[in-house]
């Protein structure tokens, strides 16, 4: 049943933009035919990539990174520099973006992934902020003025590019969870020393997970750069984006394949709705904060787990998840 | 050649010499019991062997090759499995999945895929007596069962040497008896065992050699029955005065109170 609904929704999302505006209006499907909705749908797909990427290092491996936005920014600036300054074709530049992000993850991951828990979170936060500041002060990267790319006017292309990246991110997670590599990551999350003494090469696994997360996030950043055609420190190195991707993954269900997807769709739609709310938006923001806090406390395994089968909306469910997740 | 040779092993934590020159060797088929008072360095020794700690000095040899300071996962794949005194299961997994992890990663020969590893897990779970509970989430297991699971996960690696850190601590008499039977079955599979234990019944009942550590040094080594009668061992556990009283009552007035090593 859920699958059928999902399949119909997916077909709609994928095909709706191709059908002509007239056809869609006649069929009563205004959703993806106007510009605003294109923008929102593309943004949702972008956050699906970021939340899924974060999920690989934060959800599967248990290392809560607060610096993933640096990978997004590096991907964006890779495309920005190559396209704007070196006149590369966008597609070629886009292939380089994930590589740059992954190499950076390799360099910072080797020292930082020795830290655990809060120390890792704070260290990655520092890296995220620092990279943004460095970029903001480098003249070849446009410094504080930012970089402007030649405008490509095609909502359709960027929507499908982001959708493709989102599908790639979900598929990557799905494959990881079915391989030896994925079990190794879970073992590290659950007890790193126990994982090491049964033969898991913990350092390699952690760094590899970090690099995969970085590559996906960098890809999203690269697409964003051309889509937005303007990048600077504020729009590609925003710590708030990092917080958002974590919230999406956690609220949706960290460590699952579809949790980050559900979280990204739900939260981004709520945020977009609130953004148009005028003065009442302030109160709505507070409401959103309370909702998120409640989600993390009462359904720490995310909405996917909550709606996914086990007894729901019962004290027993809340008590059980509380007991199992507070260690 | 001995399977495992430890020579002059030293490990310091700040100003504490947790290990101050421990030497011993383990031959194929041995069951070596390590005993000693709290803080004697028993777990530190195991952590050095399994690679979680890097020794400050001395050498650990696996057959001919030095493994001192090697990464834990490489030591594991050489065929050295271990359990933890405070159990460390993977909490989100079932008993069967926990055990399969050992088979998935710890094999010296060839790689297993997840499906094959689960099959291997069933075999090992029968051996430790958890066969009927293999689909339980680990959080539903009792303490004795969690200790069995530690052993199962290590056994799934098909180790040649198994290091057991107090698998019987906190168990009642019946449970200790069951655990003893389990260790015997492991021994019958030809696995060499080094175990840390405070339960003397276990040391006498199953070990062919015993090693007593005190303050990071080897105090006595030999057959368990003799070792437990040794005056130095009684001193280490119960103090000098007790040892003296035991051997020559009535005692002269003590000039050094208790255990002067502290």
Q: Is residue A252 within 8 Å of residue A264, measured between CB atoms?
A: yes
Residue of B nearest to A188 (CA): B90
pLDDT value at residue B169: 82
A222 at B interface, C-beta within 8 A: no
The count of C-alpha atoms lying within 13 angstroms of the C-alpha of A306, restricted to the half-sphere facing its C-beta, is 23
CB pairs under 8 A between A and B: 81
pLDDT value at residue B260: 44
- Those residues whose C-beta lies under 8 Å from the C-beta of residue B102, and which sit 6 or more positions away, are A198, A199, B81, B121, B124, B152, B153, B154, B155, B156, B157
pLDDT value at residue A161: 92
pLDDT value at residue A154: 80
In this prediction, residue A327 has a pLDDT band, given cuts at 50, 70 and 90, of very low
B106 contacts in A (CB within 8 Å)?
198-199
Segments making up each domain of chain B, as ranges: 1-79+160-229, 90-158, 230-262
Q: Is residue B101 within 8 Å of residue B181, measured between CB atoms?
A: no
Q: Give the Cα-Cα-Cα angle A130, A136, A138 (nearest 5 degrees).
A: 105
Look up tokens 């799934």; give the residue: B156
B71 contacts in A (CB within 8 Å)?
196, 201, 203
Alpha-carbon distance values, A103 to A51, A74, A191, A213, B38 (Å):
20, 11, 27, 12, 47
Q: CA–CA separation, B129 vs B29, rounded Å?
A: 23
Closest-CA distance of chain A to residue B49, Å:
11
* A190: helix, strand or coil: helix
Cβ neighbours around B143 below 10 Å, total:
12
- Of residues A266, A217, A237, the one with CA closest to residue A52: A217
Residue of A nearest to B152 (CA): A198
Which has the higher per-residue pLDDT, A6 or B151?
Answer: B151
Is the confidence at residue A310, as pLDDT, over 60?
no
B91 with A324: Cβ contact below 8 A? yes
B48 contacts in A (CB within 8 Å)?
none
In degrees and rounded to multiples of 5, residue B194 shows phi and psi of -120, 120
- Of residues B227, B230, B261, B224, the one with CA closest to residue B246: B230
Closest-CA distance of chain A to residue B50, Å:
7
Residue of B nearest to A321 (CA): B92
Residue of B nearest to A193 (CA): B52
pLDDT value at residue B112: 82
B105 with A180: Cβ contact below 8 A? yes
A203 at B interface, C-beta within 8 A: yes
Residue A65's DSSP bridge partners are none
Q: What's the structural domain count of chain A?
A: 1
Which has the higher per-residue pLDDT, A309 or B54?
Answer: B54
pLDDT value at residue A29: 52
Is the confidence at residue B152, as pLDDT, over 90?
yes
Question: What's the pLDDT tens digit per position in A56-83?
Answer: 999 999 998 999 999 999 999 999 999 9
- Name the percent of chain A lying above pLDDT 90: 45
pLDDT value at residue A313: 58
In this prediction, residue B245 has a pLDDT band, given cuts at 50, 70 and 90, of confident
Residue of A nearest to B76 (CA): A199
- Of residues B167, B237, B151, B194, the one with CA closest to residue B33: B194
* Residue A98: inside a domain: yes
Q: Is B68 exposed, middle or buried (0-12, 13-18, 19+ CB in 10 A)?
A: buried
Report ipTM (2 d.p.). 0.85
Substitution target in B75, B81, B87, B90 with the highest count of A β-carbons within 10 Å is B90
Is the confidence at residue A86, as pLDDT, over 50?
yes
B72 with A180: Cβ contact below 8 A? no
B91 with A183: Cβ contact below 8 A? no
Q: Lowest mean pLDDT of A174-178, A216-220, A321-325, B29-33, name the range.
A: A321-325
pLDDT value at residue B262: 38
Question: Class for domain B1-79+160-229, per CATH?
Answer: alpha beta
A198 at B interface, C-beta within 8 A: yes
Look up tokens 């368990």; give the residue: B224
- Name the percent of chain B lying above pLDDT 70: 93
A179 with B114: Cβ contact below 8 A? yes
Pairing of strands B16-26, B4-13: antiparallel
B71 with A186: Cβ contact below 8 A? no
A177 at B interface, C-beta within 8 A: no
* Residue A1: inside a domain: no
Write out the residues of chain B at the interface with chain A, using a CB-CB cutoff of 8 A: 50-52, 71-73, 75-77, 81-82, 84, 88-93, 101-102, 104-107, 111-114, 139, 153-154, 157
Task: Please state the pTM of the whole predicted model.
Answer: 0.85
Question: What's the pLDDT tens digit per position in A124-153?
Answer: 999 999 999 998 888 787 777 888 888 887
B90 with A186: Cβ contact below 8 A? yes
DSSP A83: I
- Residue A206 sits in a domain whose CATH number is 1.10.3470
- Those residues whose C-beta lies under 8 Å from the C-beta of residue B253, and which sit 6 or more positions away, are none
Substitution target in A176, A191, A198, A323 with the highest count of B β-carbons within 10 Å is A198
pLDDT value at residue B247: 65
Is the confidence at residue A156, as pLDDT, over 80?
yes
- Those residues whose C-beta lies under 8 Å from the C-beta of residue A53, and which sit 6 or more positions away, are A68, A71, A169, A212, A213, A214, A216, A217, A220, A245
Q: Give the Cα-Cα-Cα angle A310, B93, A260 (nearest 5 degrees).
A: 60
A180 at B interface, C-beta within 8 A: yes
| H helix and E strand count, chain A | 16, 2
The length of chain A, given as a count of residues: 327
DSSP B133: G
pLDDT value at residue B261: 44
Is the confidence at residue B186, as pLDDT, over 60?
yes
Q: CA–CA separation, A34 vs B9, rounded Å?
A: 73
A175 at B interface, C-beta within 8 A: no
Question: What's the pLDDT tens digit per position in A234-284?
Answer: 889 988 888 889 888 988 888 889 999 999 998 888 887 776 666 666 776
* Residue A165: inside a domain: yes
A181 at B interface, C-beta within 8 A: no
Substitution target in B73, B93, B160 with the highest count of A β-carbons within 10 Å is B73
B157 with A199: Cβ contact below 8 A? yes
pLDDT value at residue B114: 83
pLDDT value at residue B75: 94
A193 at B interface, C-beta within 8 A: yes
CA dihedral A76, A80, A81, A82 (to 10 degrees): 100
Show the domain range for A189. Answer: 31-275
Q: CA–CA separation, B125 vs A87, rounded Å?
A: 62
pLDDT value at residue A174: 95
In degrees and rounded to multiples of 5, residue B38 shows phi and psi of -55, 135
Alpha-carbon distance values, A186 to A183, A208, A209, A213 (Å):
5, 14, 11, 15
Q: Which of B91, B101, B112 sits opposite A198 (nearest CB)?
A: B101
Tokens linked to B168: 């019987």
A197 with B52: Cβ contact below 8 A? yes
Is the confidence at residue A176, as pLDDT, over 50?
yes
């Amino acid at each position: 049943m859920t699958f059928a609904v999902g399949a119909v929704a997916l077909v709609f999302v994928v095909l709706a933009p191709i059908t002509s505006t007239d056809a869609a209006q006649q069929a009563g499907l205004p959703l993806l035919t106007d510009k605003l909705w294109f923008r929102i749908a593309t943004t949702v797909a972008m956050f699906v990539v970021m939340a899924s990427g974060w999920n690989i290092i934060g959800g599967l491996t248990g290392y809560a990174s607060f610096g993933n936005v640096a990978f997004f920014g590096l991907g964006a600036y890779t495309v920005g520099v190559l396209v704007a300054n070196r006149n590369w074709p966008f597609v070629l530049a886009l292939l380089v973006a994930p590589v740059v992000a992954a190499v950076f993850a390799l360099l910072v991951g080797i020292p930082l992934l020795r830290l655990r828990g809060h120390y890792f979170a704070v260290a990655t936060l520092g890296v995220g902020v620092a990279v943004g500041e460095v970029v903001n002060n480098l003249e070849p990267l446009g410094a504080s003025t930012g970089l402007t790319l030649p405008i490509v006017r095609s909502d359709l292309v960027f929507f499908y590019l982001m959708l493709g990246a989102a599908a790639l991110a979900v598929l990557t997670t799905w494959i990881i969870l079915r391989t030896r590599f994925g079990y190794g990551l879970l073992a590290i999350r659950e007890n790193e020393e126990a994982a090491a003494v049964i033969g898991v090469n913990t350092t390699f696994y952690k760094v590899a997970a970090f690099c995969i997360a970085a590559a996906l996030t960098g890809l999203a950043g690269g697409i964003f750069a051309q889509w937005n055609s303007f990048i600077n420190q504020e729009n590609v190195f925003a710590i708030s984006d990092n917080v958002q991707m974590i919230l999406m993954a956690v609220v949706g269900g960290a460590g699952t394949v579809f949790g980050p997807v559900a979280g990204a769709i739900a939260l981004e739609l709520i945020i977009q709705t609130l953004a148009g709310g005028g003065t009442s938006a302030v109160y709505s923001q507070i409401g959103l904060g309370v909702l998120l806090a409640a989600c993390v406390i009462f359904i720490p395994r995310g909405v996917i787990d909550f709606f996914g089968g086990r007894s729901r909306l019962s004290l027993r469910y809340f008590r059980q998840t509380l007991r199992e997740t507070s260690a | 050649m001995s399977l495992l040779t430890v020579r002059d092993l030293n490990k310091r934590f700040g100003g504490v010499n947790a290990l101050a020159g421990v030497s011993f060797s383990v031959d194929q088929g041995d069951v070596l019991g390590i005993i000693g008072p709290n803080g004697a360095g028993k777990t530190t020794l195991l952590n050095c062997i399994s690679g979680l700690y890097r020794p400050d000095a001395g050498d650990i040899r696996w057959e001919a090759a030095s493994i001192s300071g090697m990464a834990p996962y490489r030591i594991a794949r050489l065929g050295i499995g271990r359990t933890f005194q405070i159990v460390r299961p993977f909490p989100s997994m079932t008993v069967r999945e926990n055990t399969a992890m050992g088979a998935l990663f710890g094999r010296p020969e060839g790689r297993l895929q997840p499906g094959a590893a689960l099959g291997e897990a069933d075999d090992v779970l029968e051996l430790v007596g958890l066969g009927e509970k293999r689909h339980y989430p680990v959080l539903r297991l009792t303490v004795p069962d969690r200790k069995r699971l530690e052993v199962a996960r290590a056994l799934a690696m098909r180790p040649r040497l198994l290091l057991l850190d107090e698998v019987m601590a906190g168990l009642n008499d019946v449970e200790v008896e069951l655990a003893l039977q389990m260790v015997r079955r492991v021994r019958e599979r030809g696995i060499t065992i080094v175990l840390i234990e405070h339960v003397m019944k276990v040391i006498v009942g199953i070990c062919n050699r015993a090693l007593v550590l005190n303050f990071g040094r080897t105090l006595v080594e030999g057959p368990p029955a003799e070792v437990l009668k040794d005056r130095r061992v009684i001193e280490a556990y119960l103090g000098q005065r007790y040892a003296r009283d035991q051997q020559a009552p009535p005692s002269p007035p003590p000039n050094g109170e208790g255990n002067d090593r502290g």
